[in-house]
Amino acid sequence: MAIADQTTTTRLTLDLWHPNCWAIEATSQTGGGVLAHAIYNSPTTEGNHPGTVQGLFTAFGDTGDEVEQLLDAIRDSEHSGDLSELQERFGRERNAPGNVVREFFLEYDPNDMVCPTLLQHGFVHSAPVRIEDGREEWQVCFVDDRSQIQTALDKVREQAGAEVTVDSITTAENGRSTERDQRLDTLTTQQREAIEHAREAGYYEWPRETSTRELASDLGVSKTTLLEHLRKAEAKLLDP
């Protein structure tokens, strides 16, 4: 594999579904979502090809009940093993989306992972994987020439039985994500949708070009719900 010019970085956001995934299965059945942070070999396995791996994850949602239902769905999945919750949070709360977060280790079969297939074809993930509504969002860098992306994606689709679409693609001199991008990643889907629609509709212009009632109607939510999403999104984006 030819390595791309290291002075430039091609970054992609992938929307992905693949079979036999406990997180995709659980988030398609409940509200909330999962962030995937890191994977470790299980300490109870031996040899170079362990039967299971341990992953560190964050479950998030708008309410405690929503997160509890999500964790129950994960435990019930035929593709998940032992789930162990952490008593204390790993990292700062504002680095995870949602109003309620619970961190956990989960044991599962590495053959159900799509990460090795992505890596094999040049896609290196650059941020925690975000899983919501039965889909995975991957922030990746592509290590080959940009012209080879479509061919590489076709191979991922074929080998992993995956559905993959490209939500965004950029080529930049510096591959580091901005502070703004990092803060946007802490928003829930509803918070991001609310604040992006408000900005596009001129809510933050002076004088305002729309009202909260109109925004709520556009998004199909109550005015109270809209204001709550905007308040929480603004707090996360503006918190120094």
Q: What is the mean pLDDT of the chain?
A: 83
Shared-domain flag, residues 75 and 152:
no
Q: Last residue of a domain, which of 70, 92, 112?
A: 112
Q: Confirm whether 35 is domain-assigned.
A: yes
- The percentage of residues in the chain with a pLDDT greater than 70, rounded to a whole number, is 82
Which structural domain, as residue segments, surrounds residue 205?
187-238
Distance CA 113, CA 167 (A): 21
More confident residue, 177 or 14: 14
Which of 82, 112, 142 lies at the terminal end of a domain, its last residue? Answer: 112
Residue 155's pLDDT band (cuts 50, 70, 90)? very high
Question: Do 201 and 217 fall into the same domain?
Answer: yes
Query: Are residue 171 and residue 226 in the same domain, yes or no?
Result: no
Of 112, 137, 155, which residue sits at a domain end? 112
3-state SS assignment for residue 93: helix
Structural domain total, the chain: 3
Whether residue 119 is found in the same domain as residue 98: no
Residue 213 lies in a domain: yes
Name the most confidently modeled range: 16-20, 163-167, 189-193: 16-20
